[in-house]
Structure 1
Amino acid sequence: MSYPDPPNQPSWGAPPPPGGGQYQPPPGPGYAPAPTAPQRSNRGWMIPVAAGLGVVMMAGTVWASNSVVQNVLVGAQPESVLPASSIAFAKLDLRPSGGQLADYAQFVQRLPDTMREEIDPEADPAEELVDSLIENSGYEGMTYEEDFAPWLGQRFGFAVWTPENEEAADSSGTAAAIAIAAEDEDAAEQALSEMQSQSEDVAFDVRDDFAIVTDKAAVLSDLDAQIASGGTLDEQDTYTRDMESIGTDNIASAWMDLGEIAALAQEGSGSEYGGFEEYGGLNQTDPLDSLQSYGEVSGRMALGLRIRPEYLELRGDTLDVSVDGVSTADYEVPEPGLQLMGDLPDDTMMAVSGSGLADLAGQAYQDNPEDFAEFEGLMTDLGLTMPDGLTSLLGKRTAVGITDLGGSLDQFFGGAASPPSMQFRAEGADSGAVESAIAEMWRNSYTSPPGVSTEGSVTVATSGTTGTGRLGDDPVFKQTMAGTETAHLGMYLDLRPFAESGGESAPEQWGALGASVTFDASTVSTLARWAPNGGG
């Protein structure tokens, strides 16, 4: 089976197009460039903070929505019946379009045999969730087949907002509701009425093809008031623009106002459990606790999970994020490009690559050199000075690939460690500085230092045995990393050797994992992707 490059994307041998990254959000109604934040110190951690906030908030939203489903319930889109004032929203869409169904079918055929054998194409994905709810919550005399299957649609939404009515607020100061597509409103009302008769924690309303479910009537009243005054979430320009930027054909998605949620986390820092504790449970840690260490936060995050014929992909964008007045607009964005990753040996198991890493670190160093005191000492030991020494070692573009872990993991199991085989490539680096640094690092080692050579403007350091072909020519690599050539950061992990070590009968079917990060003055876009290789 061949793996052609996707249309309208540069190949892994071509230079990046002018203008850089592939994730430029399309302008929409009310769109305006993000204002440049004032210069502040400590901007070196801005980009990882932006990405980290997104991960934290997505985890929080999924965690909270799952807990509400367990405690309460368990055409149109759910955001059409939830308020525009929502500060967090998550959605699961199990009713794909015809094109999505075709993509799903092709992807399933690419799954490893051992996984594909476990898939029941006739199974109702909502049945297991509802059966678990009925069993765990003790709704007597109710079954999925009789009480839920006749009406339960395949779209679910969960929203959190700050209510006007204090009686609607939980101890974190928020209110929350679930919207469930209802194909038969009468049947939905009958089933939910039966649940309500057996539990004090069920309040609901059925309208506009959805059942809106929460834990108390005050929340429903406040939801109606919020919509009457501000409209529904699908009418909110910022939300729709953010979600359009990540694509609308997702099986699951989430959106959140990071500033509002960070403020809630700060307000809840004095409580025993932090924010959203009512949606937790025994042995659950509030995912918002980690936000209490941040100062003033603004910006938004959008995330979508989608299935393509070739891979499963998670994309997350943080938009207009600022922490204590520092934003990505404070950076001079380097030219993107991960082409050096494709030039690593063809037997590379793990690889990381970046463009402009030295420039970004240099900007952070100029702002706050004391944060680099320890690293600066290391550079001095290598005979280099900050920040120019970073460029001497890393150049404009950098890639590192491990081709054989050797015995590097044996030490964790009581064995003797042997060094891995690897290759380092740096375009625009000073080969003499690289060679001198390696000699210094290996001065007291019993193993031979990596050999250093040059290929045009690229400095190459190789240790151990590596392949002679290019990683960029490997079909699985091309499939996994397709379209990421113009990112700023990239990661690749070949799962085949690990599956083989784990005793899988067909390790080649597990394919690889890939990730990339692209950013500009207002947006940090992250992709994570699994490209299995079964059915070939």
Structure 2
Amino acid sequence: MPSDMPPAGPPFPGNSAPDDPFSGNQDFDRTIAYRGPRAQPAPGADALRTQRMPEWDQPEVIGYGTVPGEPAPPPRRGSRGWIIAIVAAILVAVVGGGGVYAVSLLSGGGSQPQDVLPGNAIAYVRLDLDPSAGQKIALFQIARKFSVTKRSFTGDDPRQALFNLLRQNDGELSKVDYAKDVEPWLGDRIGVAVLAPAAKGEEPGVAVAVQVKDENAAREGLAKLAGGAKDIGVAFRDGYAIVAQAQNLADTYAKATPLTDTPAFADDVAALGEQGVLSFWTDLEKVGAAAGSTADADAAVLDAVRGVHVAGALRFDGSYAELAGLARGGSAASRAQPEPVKIGELPASTVGAVAVSGLGDVVSQQWPQIEKAASGVSGEGFTRFVQEARQRYGLSLPDDLVTFLGKGVSVALDEQGLSGEQPNVGAVLDTDPAKAGAVLDKVEKFLADSGTPMKFARANGDDRLVVASTQEYADTLTKAGTLGDGDTFRLAVPDAGDATYAAYADLDKVEKFYLSDVPESERADVQTLRAVGLSGRQSPDETTFSLRVVFN
């Protein structure tokens, strides 16, 4: 455990409720609340672990506390929301068996697949069923919130569950006995690397790194899994089996400079931080070039991704699940720096919002590509529309559109009015209100002549135009609100004050509209979902994003 962790309380044998060893245990509560950085164990840490926390060495006790009664039958397909399904799948995979599997591996240390896969990888994906201790603790906190998760825990090794799933779609695997041929050697981490073609016109290579506990058993087991195929090569490096399309390739990959030592990869992973349960990385330019070696590649597409590399990770906190990522390189340096969005200044009663900065600049810079793409879909129809809009209504594209969008746009839906016929929805445009208002006049005239007359409620603020469904809501949006002060918003939309794009949905405020349609047995799980948020920042150096699902 990290050295700056709060002092431990009474040892685990003091639990008074054997059916729920987590309940009421202050020592465990302090442990799961810890959010400090990972650290290497201090000397004597193993002895301390044995003396102070013996129950970690007896995971069966934890399993009994997490899985009361008989396992429930499999849930009905499609009967739960997709968010719950994804989160539950990850929880079952990592803390399968109600903690039997994960707690026994709390350290989460050791080498990663990127430490053994070759450095000429152009794309990489990693799955870690033994993540850092902090990730496991967070997963336990989340697991305790969902009844669907508890019902899914069966005490099985999640690796076996994955193997059984693969065996259903591969007849050859029916000859493989998991307990005899796989379990004795299979570790907890796997990584897949796509490698640059050896020469122009050749296919990209693929290398798989599988963590193993016994090299001899792994060699035999992998041979059996391959069904006796002779074109499969296996080599070993630092606790991993390197599997490739041929033995000479496997041997070469096992001796190559690892991906960890590739500067672009190392920098991206360091900037990303915690890699969580699932992570990925790719060099888009090299992927595009590899695709172009076997097929005609669009030059415009290749230009757009030149020098771009992307990294991401699925990770957890006790209050949320997060998919975080970043993109670097490319032509970002030639773009202007967008201003932060003002989503946090929307009313506290907002239930849903989207905010984007710099849309006007994007339209201005990308209009030739937008016009080309639109013409490709509608032919000359788009060109005629642009000409008619200018001649009949004075709409000049893209100039008027750039003026209207301005420096930033925030669209909001308010809790008030949701149950009525006229919901409160509006857009706050950070632009010159007089010029943008004149553009809106042209749009309203166009709509009227098109047979769909529509009048928008408007209000002017300081360097902003508000367009809304009602005049009362338009007036409200001209004033700075306090959405950004709420705990739920801050969890769902991190660093909103610096974000150049963001989105937010408060599920607690809208669940009353759909909760009655949810089966009673599943209602508690749906109510656990608190909010969903997206935020990110675009700069000349990189673009970042964070997608979070927040739990009650």
Task: Report the TM-score range of the alignment, normalised by the length of the smaller protein.
Answer: 0.5 to 0.7
CA displacement at 1:264 relative to structure 2: 1.9
Aligned counterpart in structure 2 of residue 143 of structure 1, from 177, 187, 210: 177
Query: Looking at both structures, which has the greater relative contact order when contacts are Cα pairs under 8 Å and sequence separation is at least 6?
Result: 1
1:501 and 2:501 correspond:
no
Alignment partners' CA distance in 2, 1:89 and 1:208: 18
Deviates more, 1:97-106 or 1:460-469: 460-469
Are residue 479 (structure 1) and residue 491 (structure 2) matched? Answer: yes
Partner Cα separation in structure 2 for residue 82 and residue 329 of structure 1: 31
Separation in 1, partners of 2:390, 2:498: 30
Mapped contact 1:499–1:510 kept (Cα < 8 A)? no
The alignment partner of 2:121 has SS state of: coil
What amino acid is the match of 1:298? R
Q: Does the CA contact (< 8 Å) of 2:231 and 2:247 recur in 1?
A: no
CA offset at residue 100 of structure 1? 1.8
Distance of 2:185 and 2:549 partners within structure 1: 34
State the 1:452 CA deviation.
Answer: 1.3
1:301-320 paired onto structure 2 within 5 Å: 301-320=310-329
Q: Secondary structure at the match of 1:426?
A: strand
Compared CA separation, residues 486 and 356, structure 1 to 2 (3 A): same
Cα offset, 1:123, TM superposition: 4.1
In structure 2, the residue matched to 1:531 is 550
Contact 2:197-2:290 at 8 Å conserved across structures: no
Where do residues 370-519 of structure 1 align in structure 2 (5 Å cutoff)? 378=389, 383=394, 385=396, 389-390=400-401, 392-403=403-414, 421-431=424-434, 432-433=437-438, 436-437=441-442, 439-440=444-445, 443=448, 449-464=455-470, 470-496=482-508, 497=510, 500-501=513-514, 503-504=517-518, 505-506=523-524, 507-519=526-538
CA distance in 1, matches of 2:389, 2:549: 37
Which of the residues 153, 159, 167 maps onto 2:187? 153
Once the two structures are superposed, what CA deviation does each residue of 1:211-265 show, in whole Å capped at 9, x if it has no partner?
12234324314424xx44xx11112222111111211332111112212210122
Structure 2 CA distance for aligned equivalents of residues 308 and 525 of structure 1: 19
1:481 CA displacement: 0.9
Relative to structure 1, the CA distance from residue 172 to residue 476 in structure 2 (aligned partners, 3 Å threshold; closer, same or farther) is: farther
Structure-2 residue corresponding to 1:343: 345
Q: Deviations over 1:473-521 (max 9, x none)?
A: 5543332112233121222234453684262335543223222342222
| Shift, 1:381, TM fit | 6.3
Measured in 2, the distance between the counterparts of 1:163 and 1:435 equals: 53
1:269 is displaced (CA, Å) by: 2.2
**Map of 1:222-301 to 2, 5 A cutoff?**
222-224=252-254, 227-228=255-256, 231-269=257-295, 294-296=301-303, 297-299=305-307, 300-301=309-310
Q: Helix, strand or coil for the counterpart of 1:88?
A: strand
Secondary structure in 2 aligned to 1:138?
A: helix
2:49 match: none
Q: Which amino acid aligns with 1:179?
A: A
Q: Secondary structure at the match of 2:260?
A: helix
SS of the residue 1:354 aligns to: strand
Q: Give the equivalent residue in structure 1 for 2:16.
A: none
Question: Aligned-pair distance for 1:471?
Answer: 3.7
Which region of structure 1 is more displaced relative to structure 2, 343-352 or 437-446? 437-446
Where does residue 7 of structure 2 map in the other structure? none
Q: Which has the larger radius of gyration?
A: 2
* 2:541 partner letter: S
Gaps of 5+ in 1: 1-5, 8-74, 271-289, 322-326, 408-417
Instruction: Please give the alpha-carbon distance, in whole angstroms, between the structure 2 residues aligned to 1:193 and 1:367.
Output: 51
Separation (CA, whole Å) in 1 of partners of 2:415 and 2:231? 56
Corresponding residue SS for 1:440: helix
CA 1:210–1:436 in 2, change beyond 3 Å: closer, same or farther? same
Per-residue Cα deviation, 1:351-389 (whole angstroms, up to 9, x for no partner): 211222223333445999888965686577665545653
Shift of 1:181: 0.9
Q: In 2, are the aligned partners of 1:163 and 1:173 still within 8 Å (CA)?
A: yes
Contact 2:196 2:286 in 1 (8 A): no
Report which of the two has the higher share of helix.
2
The residue number in structure 2 matching 1:129 is: 162
Provide the residue aligned with 1:190 in structure 2.
Answer: 220
Letter aligned with residue 301 of structure 2: Y
Deviations 1:303-347 (A, max 9, x none): 2221122222222322112xxxxx122212222x122x2333445
Contact 2:265 2:281 in 1 (8 A): yes
- CA separation in 2, counterparts of 1:479 and 1:376? 47
**Which amino acid in 2 is paired with 1:357?**
L
- The answer for unaligned runs of 5 or more in structure 2 is 1-34, 37-109, 375-382
* Shift of residue 419, structure 1, vs aligned partner: 7.1
Q: Secondary structure at the match of 2:294?
A: helix
Q: 1:316, 1:344 → 2: CA distance?
A: 26
Give me the whole-angstrom Cα distance separating, in 1, the residues matched to 2:277 and 2:317.
Answer: 11
> What percentage of aligned pairs have identical amino acids?
27
CA–CA separation in structure 2 for the residues paired with 1:199 and 1:376:
64
Answer whether contact 1:405 1:419 (CA < 8 A) is retained: no
Structure 1 residues 382 and 487: CA distance shift in structure 2, 3 A: farther
Change beyond 3 A, Cα 1:108–1:458: farther
Distance change (3 Å), C-alpha of 1:381 and 1:119: farther
Between the aligned partners of 1:177 and 1:501, the Cα distance in structure 2 is 46
- The answer to whether structure 1 residue 334 and structure 2 residue 338 are counterparts is yes
Measured in 1, the distance between the counterparts of 2:294 and 2:208 equals 23
Aligned partner of residue 173 in structure 1, secondary structure: coil
Return the offset for 1:129: 1.6
